[in-house]
């Protein structure tokens, strides 16, 4: 199996204020301190939402009539959203779906939302729209709001469009492209290949060149007000200290030695040299080697960086904003707490730990684990659209939507301590597992040895040196998981969020309530124990039943 970006995708292996003791080499790191100053009552639950709560939730998330007209204080988000039409890439992905849901719920008079989809034909695209969006439980609040007219509303508003950002002219038929260009006000680019160890040629075509193709399409749109591009907070490569909200430009903050055309040629030549399974392996290795050479951890973040430089150099006078979220996880509040799509981010570690497959991980317990709930990322994007979609944007603005710069960053050790407490009382498996606080290892070698010994014990062959084929596959998977995560498990940098903080300050109190994305308000203990882990377990059990 390929190791993928468990920090940004929905598939598995396809990545201060707290006192604690820390040590490496397999010794437990158990958080003894808790944020006792927080007074939010916590009730541990096994389910984050139920159908019976939807009617009350619908009422609480309805748009206040008083804020939909006239000159109100703040940015004017609701006013901006009224009647706007969008083109969204990556529409069936985790983030895009949450963003679409919030747009539909807070702006019932929305225009058209065109969804770029890779499908073999229109019928297939229509089926994907229904199966992956309309029928998703994510949209249960909208189902309650619209009642029997829900499907009619969704099918009249969400328009699937056959296309691919990896193709010339986005792969859209010229007549359809012309019609879309007449209507849309905002382009939202959530698309891209998110596998950490992806084939270099494929990642270049989509992540590096895709944004430029989409930008060219945007220049043909008659009334486009904003081009919104989602990147990643880790796009700046191997950095220490503070990671600034600064656009990436070759020759300025990226070495002038990097030439995208040369990288494309290099990948193309590799395709000609190799064939079959060797081709895939060699192209993955090439991507990793090139990323390391230029100062990035993996193919994903490296090619996303190239995509940003393409936007910077080719945007012309088009209004462009880049949002760089950190590790996107389950929803904090909306449309209900704990909604997640797939096993993602650090969840594979939690699952492996809860199943007794690992007793520790290669990590520094004090490293900053920068998590941002998906609903906060969607809210930030909507606020950004309202702020910059009204004309007058001259510079390319970047927003780090993160949590590490705030006064309550989450540490990896704290996450795993909370996971230990929760899973000990509410286990993943029916079989009894003697779960202990997680150990932390300073090297892959120590982790490898620990996992190997653990597998041998589980197989009842602790005295032999050779694992079974099944055991070897499990060991390879877990070690590849640790290797993928290692740069982030020892991460000590912090993300500057000056632009994001300034945006929050410009919002009215009503806007802050409706479009909350201030990470300073996250209660990590409540979120991990009562929201995220129950949501993760629901996803885990659903995956088992399919």
DSSP string covering 27-45 = -B--B----TT--------
Largest CA distance in the chain: 77
Q: Is 315 left (phi over 0), alpha (psi -120 to 50) or beta?
A: alpha
Q: Is 11 in a helix, a strand, or coil?
A: coil
DSSP string covering 159-207 = EEEE--TTSGGGG--HHHHHHHHHH-SEEEE------TT--HHHHIIII
The C-alpha atoms of residue 319 and residue 388 are separated, in whole angstroms, by: 8
DSSP 52: G
Question: Residues 127, 218: contact at Cβ < 8 Å?
Answer: no
The C-alpha atoms of residue 270 and residue 284 are separated, in whole angstroms, by: 11
The C-alpha atoms of residue 518 and residue 501 are separated, in whole angstroms, by: 8
Q: Which of 446, 323, 343, 319 is nearest to 393 (CA)?
A: 319
Q: Check 31, 86, 200, 300 and give the catalytic one.
A: 300
The helix-helix angle for 276-294 and 260-273 (nearest 10°) equals 150
Q: Please report, in angstroms and rounded to a whole number, the separation of the first and last CA atoms in the chain.
A: 20
Is 300 among the catalytic positions? yes
Q: Which of 76, 205, 100 is nearest to 158 (CA)?
A: 100
b (16+ CB within 10 A) / e for 282-293: bbbebbbebbee
The C-alpha atoms of residue 241 and residue 250 are separated, in whole angstroms, by: 21
Q: Check 225, 284, 304, 397 and give the catalytic one.
A: 304
Instruction: Give the number of residues written for the chain.
Output: 546
Percentages helix, strand, coil for the chain (3-state, rounded to 5) are: 50, 10, 40
Q: So which residues are the catalytic ones?
A: 300, 304
């Amino acid at each position: 199996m390929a190791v993928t970006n468990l920090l940004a995708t929905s598939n598995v292996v396809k990545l201060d204020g707290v006192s604690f003791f820390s040590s490496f080499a397999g010794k437990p790191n158990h958080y003894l301190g808790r944020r006792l100053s927080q007074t939010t009552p916590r009730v541990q639950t096994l389910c984050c939402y139920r159908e019976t709560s939807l009617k009350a939730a619908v009422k609480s998330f309805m748009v206040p009539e008083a804020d939909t007209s006239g000159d109100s204080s703040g940015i004017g988000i609701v006013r901006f959203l009224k009647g706007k039409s969008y083109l969204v890439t990556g529409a069936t992905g985790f983030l895009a779906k949450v963003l679409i849901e919030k747009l539909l719920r807070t702006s019932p008079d929305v225009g058209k939302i065109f969804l770029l989809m890779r499908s073999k034909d229109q019928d297939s695209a229509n089926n994907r729209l229904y199966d992956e969006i309309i029928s998703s439980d994510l949209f249960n609040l909208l189902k309650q709001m619209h009642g029997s007219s829900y499907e009619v509303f969704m099918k009249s508003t969400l328009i699937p469009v056959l296309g691919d950002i990896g193709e010339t002219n986005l792969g859209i038929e010229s007549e359809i492209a012309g019609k879309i260009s007449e209507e849309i006000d905002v382009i939202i680019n959530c698309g891209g290949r998110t596998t950490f160890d992806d084939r270099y040629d494929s990642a270049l075509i989509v992540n590096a060149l895709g944004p430029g193709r989409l930008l060219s399409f945007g220049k043909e749109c008659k009334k486009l007000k904003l081009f919104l591009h989602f990147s990643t907070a880790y796009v700046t490569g191997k950095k220490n200290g503070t990671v600034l909200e600064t656009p990436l430009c070759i020759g300025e903050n990226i070495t002038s030695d990097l030439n995208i055309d040369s990288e494309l040629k290099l990948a193309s030549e590799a395709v000609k040299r190799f064939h079959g399974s060797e081709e895939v392996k060699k192209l993955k290795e090439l991507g990793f080697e090139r990323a390391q050479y230029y100062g990035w951890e993996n193919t994903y973040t490296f090619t996303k960086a190239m995509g940003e430089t393409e936007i910077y150099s080719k945007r012309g006078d088009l209004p462009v904003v880049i949002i760089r979220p950190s590790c996107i996880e389950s929803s904090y509040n909306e449309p209900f707490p704990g909604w997640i799509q797939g096993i993602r981010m650090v969840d594979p570690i939690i699952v492996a730990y809860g199943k007794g497959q690992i007793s520790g991980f290669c990590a520094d317990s004090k490293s900053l684990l920068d998590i941002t709930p998906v609903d906060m990322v969607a809210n930030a994007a909507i606020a950004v659209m309202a702020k910059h979609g009204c004309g007058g944007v001259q510079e390319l603005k970047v927003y780090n939507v993160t949590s590490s710069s705030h006064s309550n960053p989450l540490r990896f050790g704290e996450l795993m301590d909370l996971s230990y407490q929760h899973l000990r009382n509410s286990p993943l498996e029916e079989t009894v597992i003697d779960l202990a606080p997680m150990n932390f290892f300073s090297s892959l070698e120590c982790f490898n040895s620990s996992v190997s010994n653990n597998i041998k014990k589980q197989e009842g062959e602790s005295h032999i040196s050779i694992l079974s084929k099944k055991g070897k596959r499990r060991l390879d998977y877990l070690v590849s998981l640790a290797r993928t995560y290692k740069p982030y498990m020892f991460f000590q940098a912090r993300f500057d969020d000056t632009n994001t903080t300034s945006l929050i300050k410009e919002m009215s109190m009503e806007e802050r309530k409706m479009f909350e994305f201030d990470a300073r308000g996250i209660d990590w203990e409540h979120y991990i124990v009562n929201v995220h882990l129950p949501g993760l377990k629901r996803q885990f059990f659903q995956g088992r039943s399919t």
